[in-house]
C-alpha cells in the first residue's frame, strides 16, 4: 500500500482531474455513482427484509458496501467522498470555485441516478411482501427523524465513508481497494448513520411504495435529506482538514 504521504499526493492529482473534467462527464459519472449506491441500498433492503433483530442489521451492513465498491472500481463521482476535495482546495492545489462546482454537479447527478433506480425498482414489481414493507418502514423512520439527530448521524457517516475512500486510494490493487473500503462502510451501516445519497434512494423508494405516518416529500427533504447532507459535509470537512494539516505542502497551483 501507499504511505499516507504518498496517498495524499495521489489524491491531489485525482482532485485536479476531477475538477478539470467537463461538466457533462462529471454529471454522467455522478449519475452512475447515485445508481451504484442505490443498487447497494436496494440489495441491502431485500437481503435483510425477512430477518429480525441484530442479524438484519448485520446482513444489511454486509451487503450495502457493494455500492461503494462499484463507485471506486468504475471511477464514478460520489458527493460524500468528494467532500475530501476540501483538502487540496485549502492547499491551493485546486480552486475553491472548482470544488463547489464539482460538489454541485455531483450532488445533482447522484440524485438523478438514485431516483432513477428507485423508480425502476418500485415499478418493476420486484419489491413485494416483506421487502416492500421494509422499504416503506425505512423511509418512514427517516422522515420522522429530528433535524438535529439526522445531522449528527450524518457526521460520523461521512467520516467513515471518506476514510473508506482514503483506504481504497492507499491500496495498489483492485482487491486491496475492495478489502480496504469494506469495513468502514460496514461500520456506518451497522451503526445506523445517515448517508445522503443512500437516503435519496431510500426516501424515493419508500414514497413510491406506499404510505405511512410522516412519510411525505416535505418530511423526507426537511427531516432527513437536508440535515444528513449537512452532516455529511461536516464529517467530510473534518477528515479533509485533518488530512491537510497532516500533509500540508508549501507548493500551490
CA angle 203, 184, 59 (to 5 degrees): 60
The model's confidence at residue 170, banded by pLDDT at 50, 70 and 90, is: very high
Q: Is residue 252 part of a domain?
A: no
Q: Is residue 210 part of a domain?
A: yes
Q: Is residue 138 part of a domain?
A: yes
CATH classification at residue 199: 1.20.1080.10
Residue 252 has pLDDT above 80, yes or no: no
Cα–Cα distance, 72 to 171 (Å, whole number) = 12
Tell me what pLDDT residue 249 has: 62
Looking at the 3D structure of the chain, how many domains does it have?
1
Q: How many Å separate Cα 123 from the centre of its chain? A: 24
Q: Is residue 52 part of a domain?
A: yes
Q: Are 106 and 80 in contact (CB under 8 A)?
A: no
Q: Is residue 89 part of a domain?
A: yes
Q: Is residue 115 part of a domain?
A: yes
Structural domain boundaries, residue 72: 4-247
Q: Is residue 55 part of a domain?
A: yes
The model's confidence at residue 184, banded by pLDDT at 50, 70 and 90, is: very high
pLDDT tens-digit readout, 41-90: 999 999 999 998 899 999 999 999 999 999 999 999 999 999 999 999 99
Average pLDDT over residues 149-164: 98
Cα–Cα distance, 110 to 29 (Å, whole number) = 9
Q: Is residue 253 part of a domain?
A: no
Amino acid at each position: 500500500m501507499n504511505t499516507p504521504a504518498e496517498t495524499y499526493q495521489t489524491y491531489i492529482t485525482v482532485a485536479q482531474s476531477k475538477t478539470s473534467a467537463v461538466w457533462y462527464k462529471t454529471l454522467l459519472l455522478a449519475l452512475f455513482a447515485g445508481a451504484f449506491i442505490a443498487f447497494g441500498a436496494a440489495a441491502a433492503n431485500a437481503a435483510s427484509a425477512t430477518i429480525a433483530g441484530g442479524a438484519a442489521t448485520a446482513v444489511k451492513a454486509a451487503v450495502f458496501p457493494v455500492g461503494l465498491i462499484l463507485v471506486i472500481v468504475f471511477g464514478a463521482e460520489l458527493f460524500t467522498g468528494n467532500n475530501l476535495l476540501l483538502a487540496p482546495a485549502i492547499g491551493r492545489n485546486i480552486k475553491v470555485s472548482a470544488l463547489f462546482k464539482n460538489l454541485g454537479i455531483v450532488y445533482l447527478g447522484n440524485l438523478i441516478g438514485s431516483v432513477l433506480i428507485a423508480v425502476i425498482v418500485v415499478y418493476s414489481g420486484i419489491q413485494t411482501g416483506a421487502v416492500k414493507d421494509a422499504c416503506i418502514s425505512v423511509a418512514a423512520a427517516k422522515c420522522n427523524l429530528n433535524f438535529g439527530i439526522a445531522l449528527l448521524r450524518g457526521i460520523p457517516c461521512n467520516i467513515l465513508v471518506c476514510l473508506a475512500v482514503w483506504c481504497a486510494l492507499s491500496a495498489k490493487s483492485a482487491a486491496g481497494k475492495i478489502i480496504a473500503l469494506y469495513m468502514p462502510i460496514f461500520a456506518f451501516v451497522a451503526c445506523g448513520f445517515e448517508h445522503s445519497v443512500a437516503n435519496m434512494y431510500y426516501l424515493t423508494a419508500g414514497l413510491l411504495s406506499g404510505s405511512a405516518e410522516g412519510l411525505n416529500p416535505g418530511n423526507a427533504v426537511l427531516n432527513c435529506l437536508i440535515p444528513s447532507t449537512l452532516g455529511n459535509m461536516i464529517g467530510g470537512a473534518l477528515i479533509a482538514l485533518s488530512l491537510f494539516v497532516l500533509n500540508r505542502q508549501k507548493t500551490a497551483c
